[in-house]
Amino acid sequence: MIGLEHYLILAALLFSIGLYGALVKRNAVIILMCIEIMLNAVNIMLIAFSRFVVPAMLTGQVFAIFVIVVAAAEAAVGLAIIIAIYRNRQLIDISKINLMKW
C-alpha cells in the first residue's frame, strides 16, 4: 500500500535534486529546469497532503494549479531573459555573466 510517506519522500527527493541542480549548475537553462523540478515537488506534496489529510476538499489541487500557472509564467520570463542574454553574449554560463560584480 502506498501511503502519505512515500509521496513525501518522492517530493523531498525531487526537491533536493532540483535544489542541488539550481545551486551548482552553470547552464542557465538547466537551472531553470531545476527550479521547475522544485516547483513540481511542491505540487506533489500539496496534492498528497490534500488527498490524505482533507480528502473532502480540493484546496491542495487548486493551489497546485495556481503553482503550475505561476511556473509557466516564470519559465516564459526566465527563458526570455536567457535568450536575450544569449543574443548579446553568445553564452548562457551564469558564472561568466558577472559584469555588475565588484
Partner 1 sequence: MMPYQLFWGIFLLPLLSFVIIALFIRPFVKPESKVAGYITIAAILTSFALSVWGLITVLAAPGHEVAVPAISWAVIGDLRINVGIMVDALTVVMLVVVTGVSSMVQIYSQGYMQGDPGYHRYYAAMSLFTMSMLGLVLANNILFMFVFWELVGLCSYLLIGFWFHKPSAANAAKKAFLVTRLGDFGFLAGLLALYRAAGTFDISQLHAMAIAGTLGGAALTWAAIGLFAGAAGKSAQFPLHVWLPDAMEGPTPVSALIHAATMVAAGVFLVARMFPLFVGSPEALTTVATVGAITAIFAASMGLVMHDIKRVVAYSTISQLGYMMLGLGAAGIVVAHEGHVTLEVAKAATAIGMFHLFNHAFFKALLFLGAGSVNHATGTFDMRLMGGLRKVMPWTYTTFLLAALSLAGIWPLAGFWSKDEILLTALEARPALFVLAIITVFMTAFYIFRALFLTFSGEYRGGAVPEHGSTAHASHGAGHDAHGPAKPHESSKVMVVPLVLLAIPAVVSGFWNVTGGFSAFFGHGETRGFIEGLFEPLTHPLPWGALALALLGIFLAYAMYSKKWVSAEKIGSRFKPFYTLFYHKYWMDELYEGVIVKKTLVNGFFALLQKIDSKGVDGAVNGIARGAIAGGRSLRRAQTGQLQLYGLFIGIGILAIVIFVFMIG
Shortest distance (Å) from residue 32 CB to partner 1: 13
Residue 34's H or E segment, with its range, is helix 28-53
Q: Identify the residue among 8, 17, 19, 44 touching partner 1 (CB under 8 A).
A: 19
Determine the distance from the C-alpha atom of residue 33 to the mean position of all C-alpha atoms in its chain, rounded to a whole number: 7
Name 93's bridge partners. Answer: 27
Q: Does 30 bind partner 1 (CB under 8 A)?
A: no
C-alpha cell read off for 84: 536575450
Q: Of the two residues 55 and 102, which places its CB atom closer to partner 1 in the complex?
A: 102
- Asked if residue 8 binds partner 1 (CB under 8 A), the reply is no
**Which has the closest alpha carbon to 4: 49, 59, 55, 60?**
49
Interface ranges with partner 1 (CB under 8 A): 19, 22-24, 31, 94-95, 98, 100-102
